[in-house]
């Protein structure tokens, strides 16, 4: 299996979820007993992709603290004389995480641009820190490779306040329009696969939104394809959606919990 890094955008302020994000970054808002970021990382980890790059911004130090302190939820021993620690009965996953400070006010494109130096493979994954789905990551990656384009996005059925994506018969994206009302078609569901050539499309500006100039230009250049996902997908953009995801968790029928499907 290829060791493909997974980039997760974790820096936004989550203004539409102020009830939860006044005191913590949105990726740390809990679904069940763990942050939504944890659930997202578990989706990729289930398919064997365990190398993560977190693009931090708003209250990013809290995300660092969460993972640093995670080990201490297990029993552990400290040997002060030898400057060693030993974790007992640990449930900590075997992940490698790079914490990248990408600025409190940066837009999504600029956050991605700043972690270019950490990408050491031709392709890499990218997703938002607030969306859950039962996407088959292996099928997504194989789809991307088979189309030989710079960018692949997982598309899902729309919620009316999101933008619309126009897709040709051979799954090439012909138009990418974000933040407009759409009642049919497909929308950006995150879960991208990108070739490192994508960085040529991203200007080095703090206000660069990935969903604006870069992705629109990729579509114009016929370098952007859609992986159509008909299964479960739900973002956590509002308090209502936060409640919905937690209701799903409490039900015990958790679509994004890949281990339950094995």
The enclosing domain of 89 has a CATH number of 3.90.550.10
At 183 the pLDDT is 47
pTM across the whole model: 0.86
At 184 the pLDDT is 60
At 113 the pLDDT is 96
| pLDDT tens profile 1-10 | 789 999 999 9
| pLDDT tens profile 180-202 | 444 467 888 999 999 999 999 99
- Choice between 26 and 22, residue whose per-residue pLDDT is larger: 26
72 belongs to a structural domain? yes
Report the pLDDT averaged over residues 106-113: 95
252 belongs to a structural domain? yes
At 172 the pLDDT is 83
CB-facing half-sphere around the CA of 113: CA atoms within 13 A: 18
52 belongs to a structural domain? yes
How many Å apart are CA 25 and CA 34, to the nearest integer? 14
Q: Is 43 exposed, middle or buried (0-12, 13-18, 19+ CB in 10 A)?
A: buried
* Lowest mean per-residue pLDDT among 56-60, 170-174, 229-233: 170-174
159 belongs to a structural domain? no
Domain containing 141: what range? 6-152+190-206+233-261
Q: Model confidence at 90, in pLDDT bands (50, 70, 90)?
A: low
How many Å apart are CA 40 and CA 97, to the nearest integer? 14
Report the pLDDT averaged over residues 90-109: 90
Q: What is the 3-state secondary structure (H, E, C) of 37-65?
A: HHHHHHHHHHCCCCEEEEEECCCHHHHHH
Number of domains composing the chain: 1
Site of tokens 């407009």: 180
Is the pLDDT at 160 greater than 60, yes or no?
A: no
Mean pLDDT of the chain, nearest integer: 88
């Amino acid at each position: 299996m290829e060791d493909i890094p997974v980039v997760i955008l974790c820096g936004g302020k989550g203004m539409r979820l102020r009830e939860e994000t006044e005191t913590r970054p949105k990726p740390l808002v809990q679904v069940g007993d763990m942050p939504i970021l944890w659930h997202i990382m578990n989706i990729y980890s289930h398919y064997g992709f365990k190398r993560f790059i977190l693009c931090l911004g708003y209250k990013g130090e809290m995300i660092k603290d969460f993972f640093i302190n995670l080990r201490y939820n297990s029993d552990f021993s400290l040997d002060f004389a030898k400057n060693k620690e030993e974790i007992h009965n640990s449930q900590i996953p075997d992940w490698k995480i790079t914490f990248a400070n990408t600025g409190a006010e940066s837009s999504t494109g600029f956050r991605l641009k700043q972690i270019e130096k950490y990408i050491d493979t031709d392709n890499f994954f990218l997703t938002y820190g607030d969306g859950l789905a039962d996407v088959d990551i292996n099928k997504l990656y194989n789809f991307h490779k088979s189309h030989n384009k710079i960018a692949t996005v997982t598309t899902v059925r729309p919620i009316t306040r999101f933008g619309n994506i126009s897709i040709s018969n051979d799954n090439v994206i012909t138009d990418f329009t974000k933040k407009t009302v759409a009642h049919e078609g497909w929308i950006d569901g995150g879960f991208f696969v990108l070739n490192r050539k994508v960085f040529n499309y991203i200007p080095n500006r703090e206000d660069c939104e990935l969903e604006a100039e870069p992705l629109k230009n990729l579509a114009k250049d016929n370098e952007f394809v859609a992986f159509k996902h008909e299964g479960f997908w739900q973002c956590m953009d509002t308090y209502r959606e936060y409640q919905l995801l937690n209701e799903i968790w409490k039900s015990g029928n958790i679509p994004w919990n890949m281990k339950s499907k094995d």
